[in-house]
Amino acid sequence: MFIKVRVIPNSRKKAIIKKAEDNFELKIKEKAIMGRANVAAIEALSDYFKVLKSKIRLVRGHHKKNKVFEVKK
């Protein structure tokens, strides 16, 4: 399944907010430097969906706040 995620880096708390069926807002503590925010986003989504990190792939938005991830179950 493909999900749309708005990533907010450098946040005080970690949080995942479900906006719609396939639309999420993700707050993470890591800064958006050298892909750290993308790695943290994959880890957070892995915990949320209870799948391995290898089952989550960043499809679009490597350098933007609005991203598209593929989650394989």
Task: Classify each residue of 38-73 as buried b or exposed e, where b means 16 or more C-beta atoms within 10 Å of its C-beta.
Answer: bebbbebbbeebeeeeeebebeebeeeeebebebee
Which CATH code, of 3.40.1360.10, 3.30.1200.10, 3.40.980.10, 3.40.50.300, is assigned to 2-71? 3.30.1200.10
Region of 31 please: left (phi>0), alpha (psi -120 to 50) or beta. Answer: beta
- Residue 73's pLDDT band, with cuts at 50, 70 and 90, is confident
Where in the chain are the domains? 2-71
The pLDDT tens digits of the residues spanning 16-27 come to 999 999 999 999
Q: pTM for the whole thing?
A: 0.92
